[in-house]
Amino acid sequence: MSEQAVVKRQFGHRARLAMTPALSLKLDEQAHAARAMWNLLHAWWQMMPKDQRTLAHADAAIRQSRKDIDFLAVVPAQAAQAVLKTYVQAWKNCWGGRADAPNFKTRIRTVMSLDIPQGQHLNIVRVHRRWGVVNIPKVGRVRFRWTKDLPVGKRADQNNRITGARLVKDDLGWHISFRVQTLEPEPEPHKGPEVGIDVGVTIPLALSDGGKFEHGAWLTDREQAKLLCLERRSAALRQYRKRGEKASKRLQHVYDQIARLRAKAKRRRQDWQHKTTTTIARTYGTVVVEALQITNMVKSAKGAIDRPGKNVARKAGLNRSILAEAWGRMVAMLDYKLTRRGGNLVKVPAPGTSQRCSMCGVTTPGNRESQAVFVCKNPDCGWSGNADHNAGRNVLHLYRIGLVAIPAAGRRSRQARQRVQPATAR
């Protein structure tokens, strides 16, 4: 008889919905009604005395509003309760110092979304190798892209199930994000080697063992030419719009085309990041990265009126390239994927990793002659090589000497809290 600890794992899976124009219009109406319900709830909260701002009173106000206002009735009852729950949680986050106070949601800047809090209402069925069908309240049965095995049907039980979902609309259409709960054996420690990773713009990921991960342009030449043409067309149409005037239908159509192209590039970038981080998490047991302050790195070089900056346009281009790589999301992906496989993610201080020679350990500001070439200025060394791989070796060296800046935030503590009773195997 052997015992093995199991861990309750909760994750999300996003899938694309195949919506007809009629079904998409129904979801649009529900999302707009849910946003209006949030705004009415916020206005009610501000008008009521503090002693009457209770969950019971807010719930009664929402129920009455769905009876009195016709367009609010299109929101399913469970989705309306989810709006209330999210609003109350927003205030708890504010009181806890984790976020700002909730405010009204505007029609333009707010992401259209709707929550389905009960998983049993989804009735998910896999009908094809690539397609599944999900039930959306007050909309009907809708097909979605099946790209991951989900605990549905006979595979679902109390510990392995879908607890809910959220509908989100972006520039490429409606998507559904399933909330999945599974019970898995606690992973054994990963026996893979250690590796240091240096992130960059020329080489996105340079590894200390000499490996690297690169990618091409996220848009094809034809798509880039189309994007440039659309941006020029929008600039020409904006010349005829007065300040504060609403955009014309023609200009809004151009904006939508630009947004769809940029959303397509973002989706391809996320796909590359997922595949790359999965490969790294499977290969290496300990991954060491730099604790970068990305917000400080992408500050503008414009300066002030009395002290103007230098190379402002060049720095702005570098900032766009840094933000396009999405280093923070890459590290977050590595964190949870390594945790699931028993690996470890460690962060070390970033200063000096690109100027220190990984062979002799001498740090000289002039060591890095260019973006790609590193030449040690120490007369006793004189080593030269790729600058990004040199920085990756320095990152790994800082971990091995015990100079750790920020360990993976709360990962082991979260895993300990989610640990349940050992499962007994006969």
**Letter for the amino acid at 28?**
D
228: in domain: no
**C-alpha 235, offset from chain centre:** 31
150 with 199, same domain: the answer is: no
- Cα separation of 421 and 414, whole Å? 16
266: in domain: no
Helix (H, G, I), strand (E, B) or coil at 127: coil
Using alpha carbons, select from 56, 49, 65, 46 the residue that is nearest to residue 103.
46
210: in domain: yes
328: in domain: yes
270: in domain: no
Spell out the alpha helix ranges (H) of 48-171: 55-68, 77-95
- The tokens describing 225, both together, are 């030419």
Contact between residue 344 and residue 195 where contact means Cβ atoms under 8 Å apart: no
Q: Which contiguous run of DSSP H or E holds residue 79?
A: helix 77-95
Q: For residue 173, list its beta bridge partners.
A: 170
32 with 10, same domain: the answer is: no
240: in domain: no
Please classify residue 196 by burial: count the beta carbons closer than 10 Å to its beta carbon, then call 0-12 exposed, 13-18 middle and 19+ buried.
Answer: buried
Q: Which of 95, 112, 129 is the last residue of a domain?
A: 112
Q: List per-residue pLDDT tens for the chain, 426 residues long.
A: 345 678 888 888 999 999 899 999 999 999 999 999 999 999 999 999 888 888 889 889 989 988 888 889 899 989 999 999 999 999 999 999 898 999 999 988 889 999 998 888 899 999 988 999 999 999 999 999 998 888 888 888 888 899 999 999 988 899 999 999 988 888 888 888 989 988 888 888 888 888 889 898 899 999 999 999 999 999 998 888 877 788 888 999 999 999 999 999 999 999 999 999 999 999 999 899 888 887 877 777 676 666 666 767 777 887 888 888 888 888 999 998 998 888 999 988 888 788 788 778 777 776 666 667 777 777 777 777 778 888 888 888 888 888 777 554 444 444 433 433 333 333
Q: What is the pTM of this model?
A: 0.80
423: in domain: no
Q: Which contiguous run of DSSP H or E holds residue 287?
A: strand 286-290
Q: Which contiguous run of DSSP H or E holds residue 134?
A: strand 131-136
92 with 130, same domain: the answer is: no
Task: Note the residue count of the chain.
Answer: 426
- pLDDT recorded at residue 420: 36
- pLDDT recorded at residue 413: 40
69 with 11, same domain: the answer is: no
162 with 13, same domain: the answer is: yes
209 with 166, same domain: the answer is: no
177 with 315, same domain: the answer is: no
- pLDDT recorded at residue 381: 79
Q: Which of 49, 80, 112 is the last residue of a domain?
A: 112
How many structural domains does the chain have?
3
- Cα separation of 80 and 341, whole Å? 38
Contact between residue 112 and residue 169 where contact means Cβ atoms under 8 Å apart: yes
DSSP letter (8 states) at residue 363: B
- Cα separation of 195 and 209, whole Å? 7
Q: Which of 96, 112, 128 is the last residue of a domain?
A: 112
- pLDDT recorded at residue 149: 87
- pLDDT recorded at residue 371: 66
- Cα separation of 142 and 36, whole Å? 25
Range of the domain at 154: 2-18+115-185
- Cα separation of 310 and 378, whole Å? 31
306 with 330, same domain: the answer is: yes
310 with 404, same domain: the answer is: yes
8 with 135, same domain: the answer is: yes
- pLDDT recorded at residue 82: 92
352 with 393, same domain: the answer is: yes
Instruction: Please state whether 364 falls in left (phi above 0), alpha (psi between -120 and 50) or beta.
Output: beta
286 with 401, same domain: the answer is: yes
Q: Which contiguous run of DSSP H or E holds residue 17?
A: strand 6-18
252: in domain: no
Contacts of residue 326, defined as CB under 8 A and 6 or more positions apart, other chains included, come to 269, 273
The per-residue DSSP string of 161-193 comes to EEEEEEEEEETTEEEEEEEEEEEEEPPPPP-PP
